[in-house]
Amino acid sequence: MDSFIRPRSCKVSINSTLSSVRSLEWSVPQGSCLGPWLYAGTLFDVIPPSISENGFADDHIAQKRFKPTSREVQVWNINELEQCAISKKCIMIFGSRQMLAKCSTDVMNIAGDNIKRERVIRYLGTFLDEYLILKDHIKRK
C-alpha cells in the first residue's frame, strides 16, 4: 500500500502554465476509488472550524463568510483561507454588487503560487457567477 500512496508529488496547471512540483507526504492518483475517501478525511486536519468545506467525491471547496467592512477584515479572512489551502485552481468571492465593490482582493498566494480571482466558475456542473444570479449557467444550458 505504501508504494501506491507514498511517495507522491503534484503540480497544478492554470491557464496552460504549470506550477512547480510539490512533494506530498502521501496521495493517490486522480480517479482512484480511494481518492475521495482519503482526501475528504484529511481536509478536516487542515481546515479550521471557522472555514466551511463542502463538495462531492474529489471536488471540494473551502469557503469563508465575511463582510468587507475594512481592508484589515478582508486581509485577515483571505489570509486564513490561504493558510489552510493546499493547491487550487482559482478563488471566487461571492456577494452583491455593493459588497463586491468593497473587495480589492484579486489574487491569493497558495503554497507559493499566485491564484487569480475568477468571476465565473464551473462547480459540479453548474456555472456560478460572483453574484449568484446564474446568468452564465442559464446562457450555457
State the pLDDT at residue 4. Answer: 64
Give the residue among 54, 17, 58 at the shortest CA–CA distance from 39: 58
Which pLDDT tens digit goes with each residue over 18-53?
A: 888 888 776 666 666 666 666 555 555 667 778 777
Residue 55, pLDDT > 80, answer: no
**Per-residue pLDDT at 113:** 79
Domain ranges of the chain: 2-140
Arithmetic mean of pLDDT, 66-86:
80
27's CB contacts (< 8 A; 6+ apart) are 5, 8, 10
